[in-house]
Chain A
Amino acid sequence: MKWKTEDGGWSPYLAGSLVGLLAIASVYATTLWLGKTSYLGASTTFVRAAGLLERTVAPGRVEANEYFTKEKVRVDWQFMLVGGILIGALIASATDRSFKLESVPPTWEKRFGPSVGKRAAGAFLGGIVAMVGARLADGCPSGHGLSGMMQLSVSSFVALVMFFSVGVFIAALVYGRRSS
């Protein structure tokens, strides 16, 4: 087994195992220092970001909203974690020269052409549907996929099967059969 990929990346088995160690260290550290066990996750941060943005234009609406009240609109541990992902990815890609400006990914371009507008619309609409789903299911591939599976949560097994099976089905419809 190779530990490095041709483009200077790490084997997904190696990088993934290290994320497993990070997850263990993280639950321990949050329990020890913050007094509450926190698991890696990402999607609740989008609720808080939406609340923070909405608060600048309609503060009353955010105050009165049951869901924003439940999830607490503030910059918390997970919010900074999500921000940190951007910085970490920037450092990793800048140091091994895999940083690349990309406006339309190849698989998308093969099916929908080089239009940035089409890609933007697809990403935006897909984002809306995915986030409504993630909040309803109470997690995304981080919260359910990683953290929930590590805890052997029943809901995470079901969520992950749904994420992937519907993903496969819709991807086949959207991107069609690629010529191999």
Chain B
Amino acid sequence: MNADQLLGLITGVLFGFLLQKGRVLRFEKQVGAMLLKDMTIFKFMLSAILVGMVGITLLTEAGFVTLSHKSMNLGAVLLGGALFGAGWSVMGYCPGTSVGALGEGRWHAVFAILGMVAGAALYAELYPFFKLTVIAWKDFGKIGLPEALSVSPWVIIPFFWAGTIFLFLWFERKGL
């Protein structure tokens, strides 16, 4: 095992441990959020984002790390996002949580994993077609919200924090 693989493995074990402790790997939690009954996965995800965005912005401004935005390709993100949402609700897992769910004994996740491997192979076959159609439509490039709005990230982050905390308070009040 090389250094890349070892670091990935250690990070993954910690990530999987925390995903399981937060109880977000389960089908019930994922579908529960989509049925607007249980917001556990949003509490978890948004908490991670609140902490992570501050640290990553600081590290980027200090020049220690570089940002790696994914392209704002309009057709690809809209259609891809919609397909993902549809598949996610039936499967009840996302790519990362499917393997974690298998780790905590929810063995039906195997079928989701096999389906996703098949889906990846299918995408590789469809890629030339998508490249000429959906992907070719309109690409705004790899942009961040600060550049798009011409403001410092430190203007956006407090608003994001305030909005998210307000949302958390609402979830708790509603018992979601």
Contact = CB atoms under 8 A, between A and B. Distances in A.
Given A16-B47, A123-B91, A91 B17 contact: yes
B44 A19 contact: yes
B123 A39 contact: no
Interface residues of A, number: 133
Interface string A135-159: 1111111111111111111111111
A119 B47 CA distance: 31
B145 A154 contact: yes
B52 A170 contact: no
Interface string B137-149: 0001011111010
Nearest to B96: A42
Given A28-B64, A34-B4, A105-B28, A166 B56 contact: no
Contacts of B71: 138, 155
Tell me whether chain B's interface is mostly helix, strand or loop, or mixed.
helix
A143 B120 contact: no
B85 interface: yes
Nearest to B98: A127
B161 interface: no
Given A9-B22, A85-B99, A158-B77, A124 B127 contact: no
B55 A21 contact: yes
A123 B112 contact: yes
A99 B145 contact: no
A20 B47 contact: yes
Nearest to A162: B81
Contacts of A90: 16, 103-104
A68 to B, nearest CB: 5
A134 B95 contact: yes
B56 A135 contact: no
Interface in B27-83: 27-28, 31-37, 40-41, 43-53, 55-57, 59, 64-73, 76-83
A158 B72 contact: yes
A126 B95 CA distance: 11
B127 A67 contact: yes
B162 interface: no
A51 B117 CA distance: 9
Contact of B104 (A89, A127, A146, A161): A89
Interface string A7-37: 1011111111111111110111111011001
A127 B36 CA distance: 22
B95 to A, nearest CB: 4
Contact of A66 (B7, B49, B127, B146): B127
Contact of B22 (A15, A138, A139, A151): A15
A167 B34 contact: yes
Contact of A84 (B15, B22, B107, B130): B15
B22 to A, nearest CB: 3
Interface string A67-102: 110000001111111111111111111001011111
19 contacts: A12-B44, A28-B64, A77-B8, A79-B8, A81-B15, A84-B14, A86-B16, A124-B111, A126-B92, A130-B94, A133-B82, A134-B80, A137-B84, A146-B48, A152-B53, A159-B77, A159-B81, A166-B84, A171-B89
